[in-house]
Structure 1
Amino acid sequence: MSEIINNREKETITQSERHAVLKEIIKDLHNGKSDEEVKARFEEAAGNISVAEISKLEQALMEEEGIPVAEVQRLCSVHTAIFKGSIEEIHRSDKPEEHPGHPIHTFKIENKEIDRLVNFKLQLHFERFEKADTEENKFKLLEDLNLLLDIDKHYSRKENLLFPYLEKYGIMGPTQVMWGVDDGIRAAIKEAKEKITNYNGDKQSVIDALYFVIREVSEMIFKEENILFPMALQTLTEDEWVKIAHESGEIGFCLTEPAGVWKPERKQIEENALTEGYIRLETGILSLKQLELMLNHLPVDITFIDQDDVVRYFSHGKERIFARTKAVIGRTVQNCHPPKSVHVVELLLKEFKAGIKDCEDFYIKFKDKFVYIRYFAVRDEAGEYVGTLEFTQNISSIQEIQGEKRILN
């Protein structure tokens, strides 16, 4: 018995020491050392490191070592290159993710299409452009980049459906890092497209932009399939995967469609019917069904977060402006925004809670819409802050109104 205890203690100490060494290696990279300088030390310390340990390391860097999210994003590609080949094989006797329609199966067939687009078509046209910047070669590159913009759906499903469940289990670091990298890829695709559309003869600038897109998209495929997806499969329940599969269509799919409808063998979730209870309001009485239908028929999107910044409700009209899924319910609003815009959200909420402001307006161009976004501090009868209401509306058609209309069409 004592031998077993001693062996367990030794194993725990070894694991702890390994984590310490790996943290030091990542910090060395942060301080400017090249991956070649630390590679041998890493291989000696890492052994068969698991995806869960990689996740813990990233989170510890931000929470314990104080390295900002932006810095970990900068390091992400560097230490991922070192992690390649060192990640242990994940064995499971039952693999639902291999069944058509499972969210991971769909993510992976999308990645195959993305990889084919980037490393075959775009790479081929990139090489032709390097040799000759003809109009035909530029047109082919624009075709490829327009297709690649569809990657936003792949990333949006990951950010708005998968990340909330990982965060529920306390896995925050990897989601914040990956969302930031996703945004960088989105911006890089648009930048490359803009350089080609407004080509001024600066061939090297276009080459650099395209090389960055090809490299970053390819690296993200590796990170998803070797780090994110295995970690998610180890963590999420079957019910949670069913919910993700059910809500994926609301955001859409990238370059392909799910290969089927996934139906777990052991159990399926039944939709909870809305009860026909009634709510007595100050100015009337409505059934729950009437209230929900009324809110969903408003020509605006409404989202409510409570006094603790937790998303409690969003309306579900026919055409939402920004993607929302039921996975955001119960999630803090800060984790529903890209890292680069979180500071704006926190400042606004701070001013609402302090009573400095009662409302704030924004207006942006989004795709073919002109979007008016309004935030209202919600207060009770005593003036105490109880939450924030987000009100979003496409006002393009309103801006076009002229004259008067007094009769029915």
Structure 2
Amino acid sequence: MSEFINNRERQPIADNTERLEILKQIFKDLYNGKNVKEVKAHFDAFIGKVTVEEISKLRHEEMMDNDLPVAEIQRLYSMHTDIFRGSIEETERAKHPENEPGHPVHTFVLENKEIEMHIKNKVQVHLDMFIADDSPENVFKLLEDCNLLLDIDKHYSRKENLIFPYLEKYGIYGPTNNMWRIDDFIRDSIKDAKQKLTQYNGEKQAVVGVANFIIQEVLNMIYREENILFPMALQNLTEDEWVKIAHESDEIGFCLTEPADVWKPERNKIDENAISEGYIKMETGLLSLKQLELLLNHLPVDITFIDQDDVVRYFSHGKERIFARTKAVIGRTVQNCHPPRSVHVVEELLADFKSGKKDDEDFYIKFRDKYVYIRYFAVRDQNGEYVGTLEFTQNIDPIQAINGEKRILS
């Protein structure tokens, strides 16, 4: 960038390719340790205003070493937001469906207002009281705030599982790779603060540190969503895709509030006709498509199938799913359905299945009030060729509780 920074009076560059390269270099400078004020000055001098479309083309994994300590990654993402703050051009659109009650973005913004009020009127106030006096009463107030703030997981989960897949469909991966990582930092920090307060032993500064991080990053995330993510999504997603998102949001739930209304778009081309009554002849029987779907959905387990290209092709939809799934994951690579910090585990498992090193793998975890048994099976054809992976998830608490025998009807 040395050829640019000597002339501080230079006008912002108009060529899109050149602007993008300069943007990348500016953030590389930031990641390589340059002072944020200096980098911001370079940004103002050579870029000026930036569009959401330009931001969508920035891929942090191309510019930043992912092996950096978590604290350094958090610091860099925070500075990233500071660079863009006040410099994003408003996207011009003929229609603004996000202003219509019930539209997914309208609901997200409604939640953000509640989250911001909770942060400013509760968390910050009670944190100040705690700093002045870490009495049991003030510890409890802050703990209550953290418990309520855990509801933010629903807001982030809808964003990650409903909006991100559609952006990826249009070749936009920045939010998935960057925002999801920050969402996880926030989730983990809220849980950490809750634990520190539940087991409070006088370590005031530890609580203050994590609480201040939560306040800063939750408010920064609201800015990122409303100034980058939502305009980006509104610019790219179709009305039918927003209808699907609105339709599937109930399955995940809402944060601190609920949709103001049921959204009724001007047009709705979603085909929700009943599935075909055609029949499928298998080696051991004949079923209609409807029978097959009902059969799979009545199994007391959750099933997901990923094809040979790591694309999610199917999941069963039983009455009590253990992990949230939405139809938006269909056609999405499984790597992008997992938080960035756990993708390496998915990659290693799939590599073992594809190479023939393994045919199955089991995991078992405590999840909320359930003991969950998660099994993965490599699916191979008659020639032994890998055609995909089957995920099989079951709550085994009721099974572990079984003892004795039962030989007659209840």
Q: CA deviation at 1:114?
A: 0.7
Q: CA deviation at 1:68?
A: 3.7
Q: Which moved more, 1:69-78 or 1:286-295?
A: 69-78
For 2:359, the equivalent position in structure 1 comes to: 358
Change (3 A) 1:86 1:302: same
Q: CA deviation at 1:244?
A: 0.5
Would you say the 8 A contact 1:149–1:189 is kept in 2? yes
For 1:308, the equivalent position in structure 2 comes to: 309
After TM superposition, the structure 1 = structure 2 runs for residues 200-219 of structure 1, keeping only pairs within 5 Å, are: 200-219=201-220
Partner SS, residue 141 of structure 1: helix
TM-score (norm 2): 0.93
Would you say the 8 A contact 1:73–1:177 is kept in 2? no
Deviations 1:73-116 (A, max 9, x none): 65221021121111112232321111011110010001111111
Partner SS, residue 393 of structure 1: strand
After TM superposition, the structure 1 = structure 2 runs for residues 152-171 of structure 1, keeping only pairs within 5 Å, are: 152-171=153-172
For 1:197, the equivalent position in structure 2 comes to: 198
Q: CA deviation at 1:17?
A: 3.2
For 1:142, the equivalent position in structure 2 comes to: 143
Q: CA deviation at 1:245?
A: 0.6
Q: CA deviation at 1:175?
A: 1.5
For 2:246, the equivalent position in structure 1 comes to: 245
Runs (5+) with no aligned partner, structure 2: 1-10
For 1:234, the equivalent position in structure 2 comes to: 235
Distance 2:398 2:267 in 1: 49
For 2:8, the equivalent position in structure 1 comes to: none
Distance 2:12 2:272 in 1: 46
Distance 2:137 2:73 in 1: 40
Would you say the 8 A contact 2:13–2:19 is kept in 1? no
Deviations 1:47-76 (A, max 9, x none): 2211111221x22x534x575497876522
Partner SS, residue 187 of structure 1: helix
After TM superposition, the structure 1 = structure 2 runs for residues 15-94 of structure 1, keeping only pairs within 5 Å, are: 15-56=16-57, 58-59=58-59, 61-63=60-62, 65=63, 67-68=65-66, 74-94=75-95
TM-score (norm 1): 0.93
Distance 2:326 2:267 in 1: 25
Distance 1:286 1:170 in 2: 38
For 1:367, the equivalent position in structure 2 comes to: 368
For 1:5, the equivalent position in structure 2 comes to: none
Aligned pair 1:272/2:273, yes or no?
A: yes
Distance 1:238 1:73 in 2: 35
Partner SS, residue 245 of structure 2: helix
Deviations 1:272-306 (A, max 9, x none): 32111111111111111111111101110000011
Partner SS, residue 80 of structure 2: helix
RMSD over aligned CA atoms reads: 1.8
Q: CA deviation at 1:11?
A: 10
Distance 1:285 1:140 in 2: 61
For 1:396, the equivalent position in structure 2 comes to: 397
Distance 1:17 1:307 in 2: 38
For 2:118, the equivalent position in structure 1 comes to: 117
Partner SS, residue 261 of structure 2: coil
Distance 2:346 2:133 in 1: 47
Runs (5+) with no aligned partner, structure 1: 1-9
For 2:179, the equivalent position in structure 1 comes to: 178
Q: Which moved more, 1:321-330 or 1:81-90?
A: 81-90
For 1:298, the equivalent position in structure 2 comes to: 299
Change (3 A) 1:38 1:11: closer
Partner SS, residue 269 of structure 1: coil
Deviations 1:347-386 (A, max 9, x none): 1111111111110000011111110000001111111111
Distance 2:202 2:173 in 1: 44
Change (3 A) 1:190 1:72: closer
Distance 2:64 2:35 in 1: 21
For 1:105, the equivalent position in structure 2 comes to: 106
Distance 2:328 2:38 in 1: 43
Would you say the 8 A contact 2:13–2:46 is kept in 1? no
Q: Which amino acid aligns with 2:97?
A: P
Partner SS, residue 228 of structure 2: helix
Partner SS, residue 294 of structure 1: helix
